[in-house]
């Protein structure tokens, strides 16, 4: 099978590849947003620690918003 026929997907290329593309975006979003969220919490806590504040004083909403 040549690459061209592989990508053509028997004429259904538009549907097959956009479906796989969308699923890839969803999966990548999951990984990126999860990693970023943890980093954001760490960065925020670090900033609070540097400012000499005890983290208790801030609400959950400010900490968890990305």
Partner 1 sequence: MYKYASPKNFYALAGRLIPWLGAVTLLLFIAGLYLGLYVAPPDYQQGDSYRIMFIHVPSAWMSMFVYMMMAGGGLVGLVWNIKLADMLATASAPIGASLTLSALVTGSLWGRPTWGTYWVWDARLTSELILFFLYMGFIALQAAIDDPRRSARAGAVLALVGVVNIPIIHFSVVWWNTLHQPASIGSLGKIVSPSIYPSMLHPLLIMSVAFFLFYFTVLLIRMRGEILARERHTGWVAEIVRATPEIRGTHP
Q: Give the residues lining the site for partner 1 (CB under 8 A).
A: 1, 6, 9-12, 15-16, 18-20, 22-23, 26-27, 29-31, 33-35, 37-43, 45-47, 49, 54-56, 59-61, 63-64
Cβ count within 10 A of residue 16: 14
How far is the first Cα of the chain from the last one, in angstroms, to the nearest whole number? Answer: 46
Among the listed residues 35, 57, 33, the one whose alpha carbon sits nearest the alpha carbon of residue 45? 57
| Shortest separation between residue 4's beta carbon and partner 1, angstroms | 14
């Amino acid at each position: 099978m040549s690459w061209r026929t592989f990508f053509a997907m028997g004429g259904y290329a538009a549907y097959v590849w956009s479906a796989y593309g969308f699923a890839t975006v969803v999966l990548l979003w999951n990984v990126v947003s999860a990693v970023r969220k943890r980093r954001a919490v760490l960065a925020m806590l670090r900033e609070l620690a540097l400012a000499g504040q005890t983290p208790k004083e801030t609400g959950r909403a400010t900490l968890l918003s990305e």
